[in-house]
Chain A
Amino acid sequence: MFKALKTFKQPALFAALHMLRKTLVLLALTATASYAAAQVAPANRVYVSSEKDNKVYVFDTQGQRLSAIDVCQRPRQLTFNKDHSVIHVCCGDSNELGLIDAASGKMTGTVPLDDSPELFDFSADGKTVFVTIEDDSIMGAYDLASQKKLFEVKVGGEPEGILVMPDGKHAYVTSEEANVVHYIDLTSKKIVKNIRAGTRPRRFVLAADGKELWVSNELSASVSIISTVDQTVKHTIKFKIKGMRASDITPVGMTLSADGKSVWVGLGKANHVAEVDLATREVRKTVLVGKRAWGLTLHPDGKTLYVANGMSDDMTLVDAVAGKAIRTVAVGRVPHSVLVQP
């Protein structure tokens, strides 16, 4: 478990890292959005953003805490760039996208965004970031290299979930306030269709080789499945937990299994996560985790699910095969998202 740490301390590597850090600082000074360091993130890492600590905590995949990275204000969603050398973090209070150099574990640059950015996704070429801007009710598009805003699309109130289709031509955005999913043409920069989902639609996951868009409906205790072919709701999955009322079940975060055959859904206030079979639409298993389970991510080996419990300030590691919680570890205040580097 501590192997990685020890290697980290070897003098040669340390010196190299030191050099690299210097270079990075320089780079950061010249070009704030620094993608120069193409060093991949260290293996065996789990990153968790903490909304109230302004930090990203670093764990090993067993849940042993290793370090903390100071980032921008109110960090939420985390994603890797294509080669996993940079972690992007959306900061809701300082209105920026933070760029963390994964190898050194330092934030090396930021891209300014608009007021209260929530979640984001990238263009197919990775050069443009599309962000839901909660307070302005827009989807903003920002060029990472020039740090300039390219355009915006006005959407319904409190936009949150965003997903750019793999071909980069369309994006989906949820509006929590208007209870719709916007289907946006990124070329014409227009909303093509508003798809009515459940109450307070939150986040997306793309499944079935891109043919199905799953949308979590926080206040309907359900997930809507939208066909990405004809943009209509094909199916709705209602969640039930024994001994709980529907109002106690508030689905938000979702993640696709490594084999693409199931989707894990965080049931929020119900303090459970559920695995839904893609083919049968049936709930395979539910697992008790911490309070307000929203953000969740699977290890690419499909064996461990990491669940951020926003109200109990911890992260539960779940054996995804057996459907059992293994352990729960303290994270900082209000953990939001989890990112895994195998």
Chain B
Amino acid sequence: MRGAVRLATVSPWLPGLKAAMGAGLVCCLALAGGLASAAPLQNVTVAVVSLASDARYTAKQLERAYPDHPAGRVVDAARMAVDDAALELQELGLALKLKDVPLADAQALSKVLAELKAGHVQHIVADLPVDVLVALVKAAPGALGGAMIVNVSSDNDALRNEACSAALLHTYPSRQMYTDALAQYLAVRNWRKVLLLQGSLPEDQLQGAAMLLSAKRYGLKILQTKPFKLSGDPRERDLFNTRLLTNERAHEVVAVMDSQGEFARTLPYATQWPRPVVGSNGLMAMAWHPQWERNGGPQISRRFQKLAKRPMQSQDWAAWIAVKAIAAGLADNPKADLAKQLQQLRTGAVVVDGNKGPALTFRAWDGQLRQPIMLGHGDGVVGMAPLEGVLHPTEVLDTLGTDQKESKCQQRS
């Protein structure tokens, strides 16, 4: 910044003066061309904290490539955002650095926090299972003398409600945001009669609960809820045979709640009646789809593909926008301390551009990034929630997920 100001003062567009200034100015101009300012840049380090043994990233799990599951570690996406923000921050005398911190296991947390403290790190992008994330959120603010933690891959609604924290932001959508987006789409299409196929894992149950609430909000009728089970045992075939599970005629769509993805994969085109599948396969809500072709979508998808050698997924988008949000907070007020940065983000004073259309802000009541949600299938995007015609008294993006009045989050600042 200082460099730039100096350049402006000496008016390089006055050739006479430029010549008179001699070597010093020439040197300055050259530096400006490389976008470096004369003063040394102040480093701000963002740590990407993940779990080395995370089951979502085993080679076999990645190979299965269930739709909207992570396709690789998010650190590449964070790196892309660091590159994207470099120029704007450089102008202000700042440089973002990235530190990839894979935890060996949950027990390694305190040691890692001590290392981060020694490195003056306060900004954390968290790609963690819920229990480890909760432990991090509990420990980090104390251990680091204040922390900003951005959750980029957990959809857990409790983290936005009962288990919320003033230090915790979320760029990954909550499950409620996903099911609201889906319910809006079904309501607008007038596909209101739903057969709900429910998995038994705790995550499946959370998805089901969110879906029920969304159905109530948008006037969908859940005609029947049936449990499904991964099995081949003929004695319980009514729990896994897709035709038996869907043999009632009255429903218009089949919504499947399968956090793990294996059963849901077998369902589209395998129902008794010609009914679309939604939820964990078929038509799905997602934060990002690599085929999104508006709002500069292809640009970031292409940049990401070049960098990571794989298509950009929802979790990657969330990590990218998380670092962009950290950068936007710094750019808005380079002198702000961490508490102030958090406040600027949580009050919506700072906006970020997520290549999904509108400028995005965080919700004050739970630290969740407001955002449009894509409704897509394996091949492309067919809708974007909030759907046209869905209304809200103040901010239509707040029709997705927990709105202010419903929030159970106590620790807001």
**Residues of A bordering B, CB below 8 Å:** 116, 134-135, 153-158, 169-170, 175-180, 185, 188-194, 196, 199-200, 219-220, 230-232, 245, 247, 269
Residues of A within 8 A of B296 (CB): 158, 176
Q: Is the interface of A mostly helix, strand, loop or mixed?
A: loop
Residues of B within 8 A of A170 (CB): 13
In Å, the complex CA distance between A49 and B282 comes to 36
In Å, the complex CA distance between A200 and B358 comes to 10
Residues of A within 8 A of B310 (CB): none
Residues of B within 8 A of A180 (CB): 87-88, 91
Residues of B within 8 A of A116 (CB): 299, 302
* Stretch among B30-38, B178-186, B214-222, B230-238 lining the A interface: B30-38
Which of B7, B13, B395 has the most chain A CB atoms inside 10 A of its CB? B13
Contact A193–B4 (Cβ < 8 Å): yes
**Within the complex, what minimum Cβ distance (angstroms) separates A213 from chain B?**
14
Contact B85–A178 (Cβ < 8 Å): yes
In Å, the complex CA distance between A220 and B332 comes to 14
Identify the closest chain B residue to A176 (Cβ): B296
Residues of B within 8 A of A219 (CB): 351, 353, 358-359
**Within the complex, what minimum Cβ distance (angstroms) separates A153 from chain B?**
8
In Å, the complex CA distance between A153 and B32 comes to 12
Contact B353–A194 (Cβ < 8 Å): no
Known: A135-B303, A188-B29, A190-B32. A179 touches B88 (CB 8 A): yes
Identify the closest chain B residue to A92 (Cβ): B298
In Å, the complex CA distance between A175 and B84 comes to 10
Q: Is the interface of B mostly helix, strand, loop or mixed?
A: helix
Contact B359–A247 (Cβ < 8 Å): yes
In Å, the complex CA distance between A180 and B359 comes to 16
In Å, the complex CA distance between A153 and B33 comes to 8
6 A-B contacts, Cβ less than 8 Å apart? A135-B299, A155-B87, A190-B32, A190-B33, A191-B33, A200-B359
Residues of A within 8 A of B8 (CB): 193, 230-232
**Within the complex, what minimum Cβ distance (angstroms) separates B71 from chain A?**
21
Residues of B within 8 A of A135 (CB): 299, 302-303
Contact A158–B299 (Cβ < 8 Å): yes
Contact A194–B7 (Cβ < 8 Å): no
**Within the complex, what minimum Cβ distance (angstroms) separates A321 from chain B?**
33
Residues of B within 8 A of A196 (CB): 88, 91
**Within the complex, what minimum Cβ distance (angstroms) separates A216 from chain B?**
14
Identify the closest chain A residue to B30 (Cβ): A190
Residues of A within 8 A of B396 (CB): 245
Residues of A within 8 A of B30 (CB): 190
Q: Is B102 an interface residue (CB 8 A)?
A: no
Contact B84–A157 (Cβ < 8 Å): yes
In Å, the complex CA distance between A269 and B85 comes to 26
Residues of B within 8 A of A188 (CB): 29, 33
**Within the complex, what minimum Cβ distance (angstroms) separates B333 from chain A?**
13
Contact B88–A178 (Cβ < 8 Å): yes
In Å, the complex CA distance between A232 and B353 comes to 23
**Within the complex, what minimum Cβ distance (angstroms) separates B116 from chain A?**
28
Chain B interface residue count, CB cutoff 8 Å, equals 28
Which of B87, B302, B358, B396 has the most chain A CB atoms inside 10 A of its CB? B87
In Å, the complex CA distance between A219 and B395 comes to 15
Q: Which residues of B342-359 have CB atoms within 8 Å of chain A's CB atoms?
A: 351, 353, 357-359
Known: A135-B302, A188-B29. A193 touches B7 (CB 8 A): yes
> 8 closest A-B pairs (Cβ-Cβ)?
A190-B33, A219-B359, A156-B87, A178-B87, A178-B88, A247-B358, A157-B84, A194-B91
In Å, the complex CA distance between A167 and B280 comes to 59
Q: Is B268 an interface residue (CB 8 A)?
A: no
**Within the complex, what minimum Cβ distance (angstroms) separates A176 from chain B?**
6
In Å, the complex CA distance between A230 and B357 comes to 33
Residues of B within 8 A of A157 (CB): 83-84, 87, 299, 303
Contact of B4 among A176, A189, A194, A247 (CB under 8 A): A194
Contact B13–A134 (Cβ < 8 Å): no
Q: Which residues of B374-413 have CB atoms within 8 Å of chain A's CB atoms?
A: 395-396
Residues of A within 8 A of B358 (CB): 219, 247
Q: A230-B8, A245-B396 are in contact. List 12 more A-B contacts (CB 8 A).
A: A116-B299, A153-B33, A156-B87, A158-B299, A191-B32, A192-B7, A192-B29, A192-B32, A193-B32, A194-B87, A219-B351, A245-B395
In Å, the complex CA distance between A134 and B299 comes to 8
Q: Which residues of B1-58 have CB atoms within 8 Å of chain A's CB atoms?
A: 4, 7-8, 12-13, 29-30, 32-33, 35
In Å, the complex CA distance between A188 and B30 comes to 9
**Within the complex, what minimum Cβ distance (angstroms) separates B260 from chain A?**
36
In Å, the complex CA distance between A116 and B85 comes to 21
- Scoring B residues 83 to 111 as 1 if CB is less than 8 Å from chain A, else 0, what string do you get? 11101100100000000000000000000
Identify the closest chain B residue to A221 (Cβ): B359
Known: A190-B33, A192-B29, A219-B351. A177 touches B7 (CB 8 A): no
Known: A156-B87, A180-B87, A180-B91. A192 touches B12 (CB 8 A): yes
In Å, the complex CA distance between A194 and B87 comes to 9
Known: A135-B303, A192-B12, A194-B4. A199 touches B353 (CB 8 A): yes
In Å, the complex CA distance between A180 and B303 comes to 19
Identify the closest chain A residue to B80 (Cβ): A157
Residues of A within 8 A of B85 (CB): 178
In Å, the complex CA distance between A158 and B87 comes to 12
Identify the closest chain B residue to A184 (Cβ): B33
Known: A191-B33, A199-B351, A199-B353. A177 touches B84 (CB 8 A): yes
In Å, the complex CA distance between A232 and B8 comes to 9
